[in-house]
Amino acid sequence: MIMTMAFLKSDPNTSLLGEVEMLVLLAVLRLGDEAYAVPIRELVLADAGVELSRGTIYVALERLERRGYVTSYFSDPQAVRGGKARRMFQLKPSGLAALKTAKSAVDRLASGTVLGKVPKA
């Protein structure tokens, strides 16, 4: 399968986020120091209503790390018998910038539509 990427007109070196990448990055942002695959998956399901497999989460995280949007490290093994280390993820400044850029692009495109109108109280 050949994948093409979209790039910003204003910065041809900056590629746009895909939907899954955006959801995963937002979950990493929200989870802070507790960001690893299981709670990322749970948060995306609970708050976005999107069920992603762990494999999909890991593939997205790998891609985001290659692009420089997140960094990862292994935690100490869990304090239970046979406890394993978790691969933890942290959002980098470039990841936050990518999220802001993606949100701004969606907001600009939605303005002037029913999605961009603010309901009156």
Residues of the chain with pLDDT > 70, as a percent, come to: 83
pLDDT digits (tens, 9 = 90+) for 71-82: 999 987 776 776
Question: The whole model's pTM is what?
Answer: 0.81
Structural domain harbouring 85: 19-104
- Please report, for residues 14, 60, 71, 90, 97, the alpha-carbon distance to residue 94 in angstroms, rounded to integers and kept in the order given: 10, 16, 11, 11, 5
SS3 9: coil
- The domain that holds 53 is classified in CATH as 1.10.10.10
The predicted structure's pLDDT at residue 14: 64
- How many CB atoms are located within 10 Å of the residue 119 CB? 4
**Structural domain contains residue 114:** no
The predicted structure's pLDDT at residue 1: 42
The predicted structure's pLDDT at residue 112: 82
